[in-house]
Amino acid sequence: MAKKILIVGGGLSGTIVANGLCRQLRGELSSGSVSITMLGASDTHMYQPGLLYVPFGKIRESELFREQRKVLDRRVPYFVDPAKHIDVENKVVTTQSGKTHSYDYLVIATGSRIRPENIPGMVEGGHWFYDLDGARKLRDALAQFQGGKIVINVNAPHKCPVAPLEIVFMLRDFLIGKGLLDKSEITYTYPIGRLHALEPVANWAVPEFQRHGIKSETFFNTKSVDPQAKTITSEEGVTLPYDLLITIPPHSGQQVITDSNLGAGGWVPTVKNTLLREGSDNVFIVGDTTNIPISKAGSTAHFEADTVVDNLVSLLKEDRWARDYDGKVFCFVETGFNTGTYVWFNYTTPPNPGPPSQMIHWFKLAYNRLYWLSARGLL
Amino acid sequence: MGTRQKIDARGAFCPGPLMELIATLKLVQIGDEIEVWSSDKGSATDIPEWVKKVRHELVGVTKEDGYWSIVVRKAK
């Protein structure tokens, strides 16, 4: 009997897993002893980190998208028919159209989504850039902005943890370019008691904020937004006025995860080294979908996916475990329109970001295109 | 009687123990407890400081072998 691998989710991690498996299981796929199937939600694959550039007109929208079937190895049948229920006991996934897919190995890569509706007033009063519609609306709002109070508001949990700082520094350069910096005031709010979760990044940001007159309010977890009064209020009891609110909304996992009783909030309890679902030996969880206390980021998804590929191939070919995931995360950090830095860390190595440079910014711009090689499993 | 959920955030540099606690508190019921394990000694002070600010309940902070256990009860 052919071994059936089913991948639920057509984002970065699911796609890397699929393409990586195809590269290493060429013979098995040809002989029919292994099959790989993917279920996704869209015909198109989006380069999500590129959304950061949309509000500033720094990327063409066409650069954000590719046809998923062209990103995916042609040997993987791809169905735009998202999972509606995942039954890990009976090893079967039911889709929204009612079809069922059985599997021997399941890879859950359903990702995360923004939930601005979870905070009263945020949909009506806020702008964001974590989806295309929001990024377009923010672009239009910035085009009309003539100065005033801007609040950049960060909520937990959220993916791409450096993006909130990046938008601050890019916004500063945008305001300088429009001659509006002197007429504007930027206030950055963050849920914990410093400017970023990564302490070295937070320490680096403090003098940068001081140098550019950027205000901050830490220990700020949003309770509500009042779109009429144009104020935002925290659970900690602080209210800030705004003329333009840019928020990083709280995130959750996908509905299918909670509907399938696989994890509260859509996050699946996952063993941090094996990436196996807790209690399963044939269900892998990759990318934002895990509940591992680690950054929800594209690089995390990438490094996790590489690990899953190696282990699935090893299990199928040699019936043994290949290697554990070491918690590796790598993030570029744009520190303006012309400079950038990067940070990497894993479960045992703390982060230590270097000084920003133009060269690293250029690397980031190059990666905006090299991403498609990552998705294809080539980089 | 609420349930108790554990977050093993030892060695978690990002988003870190407090951010994990904040996210998890949104998913549990009033009266439920969350036990955070952190290898960052700063958690032993910044988590209680935040819990006091938002008026949840700090059940206890215990120094274990190489990490801190901080238990918080959702109060609102």
Amino acid type, A234: S
How many domains, in total, are found in chain B?
1
Checking DSSP bridges between strand A215-217 and strand A184-189, what pairing results, if any?
parallel
A332's tokens: 């570029």
Find residue A190's DSSP bridge partners.
none
Give CATH superfamily name and number for A3-111+254-327: FAD/NAD(P)-binding domain (3.50.50.60)
Residue A184 has pLDDT above 80, yes or no: yes
Question: Does residue A354 register a pLDDT over 90?
Answer: no
Residue A69, pLDDT > 70, answer yes
Sign for the pseudo-dihedral over CA of A162, A297, A364, A136:
negative
Instruction: Judge whether A356 and A189 are in contact, CB under 8 Å.
Output: no
Residues A63 and A54: beta-carbon distance below 8 Å: no
Query: How many CA atoms lie within 13 Å of A100's alpha carbon, on the beta-carbon side?
Result: 6
Q: Where are the beta strands (DSSP E) in A182-319?
A: 184-189, 215-217, 222-226, 231-234, 239-241, 244-248, 251-253, 283-285
Task: Quote the percentage of chain A above a pLDDT of 70.
Answer: 100
- CA–CA separation, A257 and A266 (whole Å): 5
The per-residue pLDDT for B38 is 95
Residue A307 pLDDT: 98
- For the CA atoms of A301, A305, A306, A308, the dihedral, rounded to the nearest 10 degrees, stands at 140
Q: Looking at residue A127, what DSSP letter applies? A: B
Residue A1 pLDDT level (bands cut at 50, 70, 90) = confident
The verdict on B30 touching A (C-beta cutoff 8 Å) is: no
The interface pTM score, or ipTM, of the predicted complex is 0.94
Is B46 in contact with A295 (Cβ distance < 8 A)?
A: no
What backbone phi and psi angles, to 5 degrees, belong to A100?
-120, 145
- Cα A210-A213-A218 angle, rounded to 5 deg: 70
- Neighbouring residues of A143: CB distance < 8 A, sequence distance ≥ 6: none
Checking if the pLDDT of B1 tops 80, the result is: no
Residues in chain B: 76
3-state secondary structure of A5: strand
Predicted confidence (pLDDT) at residue A379 exceeds the cutoff of 90: no
**Residues A54-65, buried b or exposed e (16+ Cβ, 10 A)?**
bbbeebeeeebe
- Residue A112 CA to residue A161 CA, distance in Å, equals 13
Q: Which of B1, B13, B14, B55 is catalytic?
A: B14
Flag whether pLDDT at B41 surpasses 90.
Answer: no
* Chain segment A5-47, per-residue pLDDT in tens: 999 999 999 999 999 999 999 999 999 999 999 999 999 999 9
A184-189 and A148-154 beta bridge pairing: parallel
Q: What is the pLDDT of residue A98?
A: 98
Q: For residue B51, what is the domain's CATH number? A: 3.30.110.40
Angle in degrees, 0-180, between the axes of helices A199-212 and A163-178, rounded to the nearest 10: 20
Q: Chain A residues within 8 A (CB-CB) of chain B?
A: 118, 156-157, 161, 191-193, 197-199, 219, 221, 235-237, 250, 264-265, 293-295, 327, 329, 345, 347-348, 350-351
Q: What is the mean pLDDT of residues A330-341?
A: 92
Q: Please judge whether A192 and B11 are an interchain contact, meaning their C-beta atoms are less than 8 angstroms apart.
A: no
pLDDT at A163 over 80: yes
Contact A242, A230 (CB under 8 A): yes
CA distance A373 to A67: 14
Chain A nearest-CA residue for B26: A265
Confidence label for A160 from pLDDT (cuts 50, 70 and 90)? very high
As a whole number, mean pLDDT of residues A253-257 equals: 98
Of A264, A347, A351, the CB nearest to B11: A347
Interface touch B22/A191, C-beta < 8 Å? yes
Q: Do A214 and A188 form a contact (C-beta atoms < 8 A)?
A: yes
pLDDT at A4 over 80: yes
Q: Which of A193, A198, A351 sits opposite B50 (nearest CB)?
A: A193
How confident is the model at residue A179, as a pLDDT? 97
| Residues linked to residue A100 through DSSP beta bridges, in sequence order | A94
Residue A377: what pLDDT?
A: 84
Q: Which residue has the tokens 């250029």?
A: A362
**Which CATH fold topology does A129-251 show?**
FAD/NAD(P)-binding domain (3.50.50)
Residue A255 CA to residue A261 CA, distance in Å, equals 10
First to last CA, chain B: 15
| Cβ <8 Å between B22 and A348 | no
The 10s digit of each residue's pLDDT in A87-113 is 999 999 999 999 999 999 999 999 999
CA A53 to chain centre: 15
Model pLDDT for residues B42-57, shown as the tens digit of each residue = 899 999 999 999 999 9
Q: What is the pLDDT of residues B12-26, one digit of tens each?
A: 888 999 999 999 999
User: Is the pLDDT reported for residue A175 higher than 80?
Assistant: yes
Residue-wise pLDDT for A122-157, tens only, equals 999 999 999 999 999 999 999 999 999 999 999 999
Q: Where are the domains of chain A?
A: 3-111+254-327, 129-251
Confidence of residue B2 (pLDDT cuts 50, 70, 90): confident
Rounded Cα distance between A246 and A170, Å, is 13
Of B15, B42, B54, the CB nearest to A157: B15
Do A371 and A48 form a contact (C-beta atoms < 8 A)?
no
Give A222→chain B minimum CA distance, Å: 11
Candidates A157, A199, A347; nearest CB to B19:
A157
| Region A41-67 average pLDDT | 96
Give the pLDDT of residue A378.
84
pLDDT at B11: 85
Chain B environment of A161 (Cβ under 8 Å): 14-15
Q: Would the CB atoms of B15 and A193 count as touching at under 8 Å?
A: no
Q: Which residues of A touch B23 (CB under 8 A)?
A: 156-157, 250, 265
- CB atoms inside a 10 Å sphere around CB B60: 11
**Contacts for B51 with CB less than 8 Å, ≥ 6 apart:** B57, B58, B72
User: Which domain, by its residues, includes B51?
Assistant: 4-73
Whether B48 has its CB under 8 Å from any CB of chain A: the answer is no
Active-site residue B14, yes or no? yes
Chain B residues touching A236 at Cβ < 8 A: 53-54
Q: What is the pLDDT of residues A277-318, one digit of tens each?
A: 999 999 999 999 999 999 999 999 999 999 999 999 999 999
Tokens standing for A92? 């079967």
Residue B62, CB-side half-sphere exposure with 13 Å CA sphere: 10
Q: With beta carbons less than 8 A apart as the criterion, state whether A123 and A116 touch.
A: yes
Beta-strand runs (E) in chain B: 4-8, 33-38, 57-63, 68-73
User: Does the fold of domain A129-251 match that of domain A3-111+254-327?
Assistant: yes
